Amino acid sequence: MADSADSNRAVFFDMDGVIVDSERYWRTEQPERIFPATLAGEHPDLDETTGMNYREIYDHLDEQYETKISKEEYIEIFDAVAREIYSERVSLLDGFQALVDDLQTAGVPVAIVTSAPPAWHGIVTERFDIDVDETISAEDIDGDGKPAPDIYQYASEEVDREPEECLVIEDSKNGVEAGKNAGMTVIAYRSGPNDDTDLSAADVIVESATELRTEIRSWAEA
């Protein structure tokens, strides 16, 4: 990748299911542990809530389904599961930090833009020694979570780029829609757990880490 300190582009990575393979665990833990502890009756389809901030998930469940515990109890359960997943189970996207280093060398700022709270993304960035320009959580902003565009609009302001100059990497329907709603280019990453997810709103869909890295580099150099 060519060295260009004045690049007008930026790349935003979702964390869950992109930077780390956490969705494979969430797709087991939510239906087997979290939803049964939270709901008295019917459970949602996972694509309905994937990509949303976990506090907003409870609000959605409380509005659309029959909850049997308080939001505070739900948060305690979700947080305990999350800390276990991020500290003990997830793996890092192959070639991620080398890709970030190349983008930054080329003058392209890189941000993690996630629905996960700081305590969780802090575990990931520390465990894998991740060094990006910004890490932005849905809990950092005064706005709606994905699929609303708010978090990506905020991210573009933080790195001083226009939305049309930003590339979003997502793996969920809500995340892809958030990036498109913000007026950005979106690459959707299929990694196994989301093979049946509707990602058709994305500009490009890739199915391997190698293909993802190639598409990102090609976009950044265009």
State the CATH number of the domain containing residue 151.
Answer: 3.40.50.1000
Q: Is the pLDDT of residue 5 over 80?
A: no
Q: 190 lies in a domain?
A: yes
Sheet strand arrangement including 204-206? 134-137, 110-114, 10-13, 166-170, 185-189, 204-206
> Is residue 99 one of the residues assigned to a domain?
yes
- 168: helix, coil or strand? strand
**159 lies in some domain:** yes
Sign of CA dihedral 199, 204, 207, 213: negative
Q: How many domains are contained in the chain?
A: 2
Is 178 within 8 Å of 152 (Cβ atoms)? Answer: yes
Domain extent, residue 165, equals 10-21+91-221
- pLDDT above 90 (res 222): no
Instruction: Note whether residue 5 is domain-resident.
Output: no
**Among candidate residues 50, 67, 89, the one where a domain is terminated:** 89
The pLDDT value recorded for residue 178 is 97
| pLDDT at 6 > cutoff 70 | no
Residue 63 domain-assigned?
Answer: yes
Same domain, 46 and 145: no
Domain-ending residue, one of 58, 89, 120 = 89
**pLDDT exceeds 60 at position 2:** no
Sign of the torsion angle spanned by Cα atoms 59, 61, 67, 70:
negative
d(CA 59, CA 62): 5
The residue among 89, 107, 134 that closes a domain is: 89
- Report the first-to-last Cα separation within the chain, whole angstroms: 11
Mean pLDDT of the chain: 95
Whether residues 157 and 205 share a domain: the answer is yes
Tell whether 100 is covered by a domain: yes
- List b or e across 97-121, with b for residues whose CB sees 16 or more CB atoms inside 10 angstroms: eebbebbbebbbbbbbbbbbbeebb
For residue 2, is it within any domain? no
- Range in 3-17, 24-38, 52-66, 119-133 with the lowest mean pLDDT: 3-17
Question: Is residue 4 domain-resident?
Answer: no
Whether the full predicted model's pTM is greater than 0.95, yes or no, is no
Rounded average pLDDT over 98-127: 96
> What band does 93 get if pLDDT is binned at 50, 70 and 90?
very high
Predicted confidence band at 4 (pLDDT cuts at 50, 70, 90)?
A: very low
- The neighbour count for residue 205, using CB atoms within 10 Å, is 15
pLDDT for res 7: 85
Same domain, 73 and 53: yes
Q: How confident is the model at residue 147 (pLDDT cuts 50, 70, 90)?
A: very high
> Is the domain of 69 the same as that of 104?
no
Query: Which residue do the tokens 């890295």 mark?
Result: 213
Query: pLDDT tens digits, residue range 184-212?
Result: 999 999 999 999 999 999 999 999 999 99
